[in-house]
Structure 1
Amino acid sequence: MKLIDLSDLSTKRLNALAEAGIESVGDLLNFFPRRYLDRTTVSPIDRLTGRGEEVTVVGRVKDIHEAGYRRKKRLEVIIQDETGTMKGVWFKGVSYFKKTFKEDEIVAFFGKAKRYGRSISIAHPDVDKVGDPSDLQDLTRIVPVYPGNKQFSKTYITSKLIHQWVSTVLKHVQPPEFIPKEILKEQDLPGRKEAYRMIHLPESRNEYLKARERFKFEEFFLFELSIAKVKHRIVERASGHVFSNLDNYTKRFFNEHLPFELTEGQKQALSDIKQDVRSGQQMNRLLQGDVGSGKTIVAIGAILMALDNGFQAAFMAPTEILAEQHYRTLIELLEPLDITIRLLVGNQKNALRTDILTDIEGGNCQVVVGTHAVIQDQVNFHNLGLAVIDEQHRFGVKQRAEMLDKGSHPHVLVMSATPIPRSLAMTVYSDLDISVIKGLPGGRKPVKTAVRPEKKQDDIYDFVEKNLKEGGQAYVVYPLVEESEAVDLKDATAGYEKLKKQFPNFNVGLLHGRMKSEEKDTVMKQFIDNEIQVLVSTTVIEVGVDVPNANIMIVEHAERFGLSQLHQLRGRIGRGTRQSYCILIYGQKVSTEARFRLSKMAETTDGFKIAEADLKLRGPGDFLGTKQSGLPEFKIADIIEDQWILAQAKSAAWDLIKDDPDLQRNEHQELKKVFTPYYKERAKFYGMG
């Protein structure tokens, strides 16, 4: 059956459907209702309390009029059901919304009902057209409401019409079932054709909920199947280098030169890595730890294991400033071991770059530290045995795959100081084994966080001055405004001039993204050596910069920062023995979401709790960068809300791949037809396309 076989489907309507991504009968079946109306979910108007409760109200439009004057104009639409009247109110888009309503039509309002005097109203309700007055009896059954758009309105494609088309399709089409029968039975899910009937033509609330569960499971199942297949192929193809000898560098460093004692979390992570690199399989491990938890020492341990066995190691960071810091850290800590370490970044002179590339290819360079320059085509390793990728979320899956192809499938350790919520770890990072470092190294005190308005700035500066006199140091960070480096620099420069006058007895420094690497290095070295006491900076110090004596972090216009970014900034302090303070200063206009972010920062220092909150605010695509992460845009499933379905789908998918990795069995042939093109697309993200 084809779309054009459906009744009342003109060329204009076909075009409108195509714009919404509906070009086939299959697309139409997968165009799911966004909500349902039935007698059990619709509130009679006379039962509304008006205390801000979320309600669905259905009624006939009785009056449409404008109230107020000039800029304060508002639109009021009064609807009536059998029990009374109420109104929808619009303060914005008055002209647009006025045109969308007609008297005597039946509409559904969704929103928070509030009482004002004797009347109840919903401000800016979501609106669905139920149809013409003759459709009122439809509410004796469950009515699906489909997503709409301008083109649908122009061509009169209503929920009722879509409902008719789907009913016709389901009478003539047999959608193939591809989820194995035993899995459907185990998960108590309906078959595919029945699920389409239940989601589009439900006879009860339980039916459409069960159908939605089936399609959510289906989306997660295919995705987890692809991750399990990737993992299987990594294990299958990559007999990893065996690091059996840990006698020289590793033991000497940890027994004789480590300047502090390892935490239990660090010891466990090192033990996990040691087990991986001796297993004969290629290591693919994610090392998670909050800011300041000591991941770098664990990475150094892994690097020394590679060097002990005659292999090279690469350490990749997302920015030059962070790569340079890692380079300095490795030089400082590994100096007694006489290890050759080179730094490879984008802006080096040709002669130096050629020298470094020659050393890497010839094997004279044992460890290369750098940015994404490390994975460029002209970089050829002599015998790369280990790749460490810092701040994994800044690179993404594709760059990790490119690193896997350097050398002869080196072991890979990826690190993240942005804690990854369990729901994402179950999806995007399913192909990785995970180690988590919990807690902070000994002697560190939790950072105290305060949220303050701009008008309290004088009190804040008095507090900063008191700490400076006691020997502390402070960061003052300005935000990036609308991704404009010019505004960013102007804000920071103005702040720098202001703070020089504010603290005349102390040295104030300035750090920003437009400075040359040598200039940044000079300023940072002066701050590390306490020659600068107050460092005014843009967000270039967000990740990785480590100054143990700095114990104050002031963030100007903190309402403009995201949660993860604020948490990363706070992680720059609290690295020494002094009590540290993070002060978040906000401006006059602060959105509800920004207030939530600031209060969350004051409430907890737990990076995992902050990451969960950030994920809920931004969604997974924004949190990770969908293109970077390889995470698909799920149509109906939600990795935050549907974690229990995700867990079930993951278990079923991984068991199936373990049992039948190439889907050769007869009962898996329908699944293979659907999965093969799906996997081909997903595998590109993992360098296996």
Structure 2
Amino acid sequence: MKLLDLHNLSQKRLAALQSAGIHHPEDLLMFFPRRYIDKSNFKPIGFLSETGEPVSVAGKVQSVNVTGYKNKRRLDVIIRDESGSMKAVYFKGWKYFINRFKKGSWVALYGTVKQYGRYMSMAHPEVDEISGPDDVEKFQSLIPIYPSNKHFSKAYITNQLVTDWVQQILSSTTVPEFLPNQILERHKFPIRDKALHYIHQPENINQSDRALERFKYEEFFLFELSMAKIKNIRISRAEGKILKPGELTKNFFNNQLPFKLTEGQKNSLKDIRVDLQSGKQMNRLIQGDVGAGKTVVAIGSMLMAVDNGMQAALMAPTEILAEQHYHTIKEYLEPLGINHRLITGSQSAPLRRDILSDIAGGTCQIAVGTHAIFQDKVEFNRLGLVVIDEQHRFGVKQRNELLLKGNNPHLLVMSATPIPRSLAMTIYSDLDISIIEGLPGGRKPIKTAVRTDKERPGVYNFLEESIKKGDQAYIVYPLIEESEAMDLKDATMGFEKLKRRFPDFRIGLLHGRLKPEEKDGIMKRFSEGEIDILVSTTVIEVGVDVPNASIMIIEHAERFGLSQLHQLRGRIGRGRKQSYCILMPGQKLSKDGRYRLKMMIDTTDGFKIAEADLKLRGPGDFLGTKQSGLPEFKYGDILEDRITLEQAKNDAWQIVRTDNELSKPEHKSLKKVFEPYFKTKAEFFGIG
């Protein structure tokens, strides 16, 4: 059957269907109802009451009248059964509905009842013609309501027309099954053909729910199967250089590092060491809360590469973070004689040529940079390890482009944004995961409080006393300059007010519009104690590490996301002093805004905060980019359906372990469906 075989399908309607991604009859079968109207709540007219719940009634049409005048006309229809009478009222489209009612005929109505005058009334009820009082069973059913759009409306594609088309396809098509029998039996799923009937023609809500569960599982399963296969391909194809800790690595940890590693850092380094000595390409994610010490783990990993005559590259999402990493590496590794270079997009041409020559010649042992590091002109001599910081800010394709710079270099990605397990199971399915739990010793938990604008004098007094004791502070604003569209305090205006309020203190201003050298200079002065209060936008969200900074005030805190607030708070509490984060919201607080502020007070656990943020914003907004590699599931939700997701992952990975090529007879149908699906995923993840 072809789409053009559908009855009443004009070219205009065909174009409208295509606008919704419907090009084949199978696409229309996978165009699921967005909800169902349950008409099973059937009542005699004399027993109706104002419950606010939709009900079904049936009766004989007693009268059909148009009342009112000009543009305020309406249609009044009185129907009656043995128990009483009621009125149906139509204000809009009455010219259409008047043809649905004929005096003496029987109709069934569905809608919400209200008392108006002496009649119980329904405004704009759905109407079905029936032959008589005994013909109500067909009316007592679930009615699918399909998604619509402006193209559907212009082409006069009604819900009833979509219903008719779907039924036409279902009656002339048998949909083949591809899930293995053992999976269908294990989870008690209906076969695919029956599940589609349950979706589009359910007898009860349990049928449609069970069928939908099957299709959620199906798309999770195909995705997890592709992730398992990608990981298998990488393991089997990518031989990694064997990198063992040498003198530089041992010297760094035994003599140069000024503190003891936490257990979380030790465990992560152990995982990395095992990977680097396995002879296979490492693909590992290091996850840890803000301040967990991921940078030290990265430095240790890069030293293992240098110990074995290889180069290492560290890529960060912003120049300010790349510069921070560069200076940290310089502080730790300069005594070891390590040649490391910084490469960013804003460098002068002569300096850039010198850096590129150093990298290509192999004299640069560690290269640190932004996305500029994977551009075509950057050529490595013997790249052995790639470290990507704040992985979720880069696309999967960008990650793969950097890997192409070397001959199967090892990959270590890091994230200071804690990612809930359900999300990590999807976007990082192709990676092994290590979590750095706990914070370095000697750090005190940050105390967080909410203060209103009326309490600002007290906040400023506390700030003044703290700075006189030698502390430093951040004051963070959501905007750089005043915006008429949003009533937010901006950084530049706040900077001027703070200079007037604290004339004896040294106050700096940092924002994204400054030149890199200006930002670097301000941060250097702040880190060296030459600035008491740093007024900033969110450019200090990640990477900037000033142990003496113990106070952070966040203006209009309700306008920030939870994870962003947590990242900002993580800039303090880096030293041994007690640190304080003061959240100052605007006057109008939404329900979500109150919830975010309460979460910040209740916990400093980044994983709990990330879980709450993910629930508020959803996966796409949480990650902030379509390029993150997050799959767009059509039916399933990785938060609401996490149990189904985990079941699908376990089943998929078990199949790959026992039948990687899907060559067993019971996987023949699955292979036919999976191969074209996998091709697109393999291309996306750089697997040929």
Alignment CA distance shift 1:138-1:285 (3 Å)? same
Name the structure 1 match of 2:72: none
Name the structure 2 match of 1:71: none
**C-alpha distance after superposition, 1:359-416 (max 9, x if no partner):** 1111111111111111111111111111110000111211111122221111111000
Name the structure 2 match of 1:542: 541
Mean alpha-carbon deviation: is it higher for 678-687 or for 264-273?
Answer: 678-687
DSSP-derived class of the 1:16 partner: helix
Alignment CA distance shift 1:260-1:136 (3 Å)? farther
Name the structure 2 match of 1:571: 570
> Structure 1 residue 511: deviation in Å?
0.8
Give the aligned residue type for 1:381: F
Q: Any conservation in 2 of the 1:243–1:305 contact (CA below 8 Å)?
A: yes
**CA–CA distance in 1 between the matches of 2:406 and 2:412?**
15
Name the structure 2 match of 1:367: 366
Q: Any conservation in 1 of the 2:475–2:533 contact (CA below 8 Å)?
A: yes
**CA–CA distance in 2 between the matches of 1:573 and 1:78?**
70
Give the aligned residue type for 1:200: H
Name the structure 1 match of 2:297: 298
> Structure 1 residue 84: deviation in Å?
11
**CA–CA distance in 1 between the matches of 2:121 and 2:418?**
42
Q: Matched residues, percent identical?
A: 59
**C-alpha distance after superposition, 1:225-272 (max 9, x if no partner):** 11112111111111111113x230111111112111111111111111
**CA–CA distance in 2 between the matches of 1:180 and 1:589?**
54
> Structure 1 residue 153: deviation in Å?
4.2
Give the aligned residue type for 1:180: P
Name the structure 1 match of 2:334: 335
Name the structure 2 match of 1:190: 190
Name the structure 1 match of 2:511: 512
Give the aligned residue type for 1:362: G
Alignment CA distance shift 1:627-1:86 (3 Å)? farther
**C-alpha distance after superposition, 1:578-613 (max 9, x if no partner):** 111111211223333222222222222111111112
Map 1:224-239 to 2 at 5 A. Answer: 224-239=224-239
In structure 2, the gaps of 5 or more residues are 59-63, 69-75, 102-107
Mean alpha-carbon deviation: is it higher for 275-284 or for 197-206?
Answer: 197-206
Give the aligned residue type for 1:403: L
> Structure 1 residue 487: deviation in Å?
9.6
In structure 1, the gaps of 5 or more residues are 67-76, 89-94
> Structure 1 residue 300: deviation in Å?
1.0
**CA–CA distance in 2 between the matches of 1:42 and 1:243?**
73
Alignment CA distance shift 1:499-1:63 (3 Å)? farther
Alignment CA distance shift 1:418-1:335 (3 Å)? same
Name the structure 1 match of 2:684: 685
> Structure 1 residue 40: deviation in Å?
6.2
Name the structure 2 match of 1:616: 615
Mean alpha-carbon deviation: is it higher for 669-678 or for 131-140?
Answer: 131-140
**CA–CA distance in 2 between the matches of 1:591 and 1:87?**
39
Q: Are 2:191 and 1:199 equivalent residues in the alignment?
A: no
Name the structure 1 match of 2:221: 221
Mean alpha-carbon deviation: is it higher for 137-146 or for 439-448?
Answer: 137-146
Output the aligned Cα RMSD. 3.7
Map 1:513-662 to 2 at 5 A. Answer: 513-625=512-624, 627-662=626-661
**CA–CA distance in 2 between the matches of 1:545 and 1:63?**
74
Q: Are 2:306 and 1:323 equivalent residues in the alignment?
A: no
**C-alpha distance after superposition, 1:155-178 (max 9, x if no partner):** 553433322322221121122222
Alignment CA distance shift 1:186-1:86 (3 Å)? farther
Map 1:374-453 to 2 at 5 A. Answer: 374-453=373-452
Name the structure 1 match of 2:16: 16
**C-alpha distance after superposition, 1:487-509 (max 9, x if no partner):** 99992111111101111121111
Q: Any conservation in 1 of the 2:403–2:409 contact (CA below 8 Å)?
A: yes
**CA–CA distance in 2 between the matches of 1:614 and 1:578?**
29
Q: TM-score, normalised by structure 1?
A: 0.87
Q: Any conservation in 1 of the 2:551–2:572 contact (CA below 8 Å)?
A: yes
> Structure 1 residue 456: deviation in Å?
2.5
**CA–CA distance in 1 between the matches of 2:594 and 2:67?**
35
Name the structure 1 match of 2:460: 461
Name the structure 1 match of 2:348: 349
**CA–CA distance in 1 between the matches of 2:516 and 2:67?**
63
> Structure 1 residue 137: deviation in Å?
5.6
Give the aligned residue type for 1:557: H
**CA–CA distance in 2 between the matches of 1:279 and 1:378?**
32
Alignment CA distance shift 1:626-1:513 (3 Å)? closer
Alignment CA distance shift 1:11-1:301 (3 Å)? same
> Structure 1 residue 453: deviation in Å?
2.6
Alignment CA distance shift 1:598-1:107 (3 Å)? farther
Q: Any conservation in 2 of the 1:386–1:411 contact (CA below 8 Å)?
A: yes
Name the structure 2 match of 1:252: 251
Q: Any conservation in 1 of the 2:111–2:126 contact (CA below 8 Å)?
A: no
Alignment CA distance shift 1:205-1:556 (3 Å)? same
> Structure 1 residue 201: deviation in Å?
1.2
**CA–CA distance in 1 between the matches of 2:387 and 2:541?**
20
**C-alpha distance after superposition, 1:634-662 (max 9, x if no partner):** 11111111111111111111122223323
Alignment CA distance shift 1:621-1:555 (3 Å)? same
**C-alpha distance after superposition, 1:194-238 (max 9, x if no partner):** 111111112232211111111111111111111112111111111
**CA–CA distance in 2 between the matches of 1:145 and 1:295?**
50
**CA–CA distance in 2 between the matches of 1:618 and 1:599?**
16
Give the aligned residue type for 1:555: I
DSSP-derived class of the 2:542 partner: coil
Give the aligned residue type for 2:20: A
Give the aligned residue type for 1:170: L
DSSP-derived class of the 2:639 partner: coil
Name the structure 1 match of 2:5: 5
DSSP-derived class of the 1:426 partner: helix
> Structure 1 residue 326: deviation in Å?
0.4
Give the aligned residue type for 2:2: K
Bigger Cα Rg: 2
**CA–CA distance in 2 between the matches of 1:668 and 1:216?**
20
**CA–CA distance in 1 between the matches of 2:65 and 2:677?**
51
Give the aligned residue type for 2:442: G
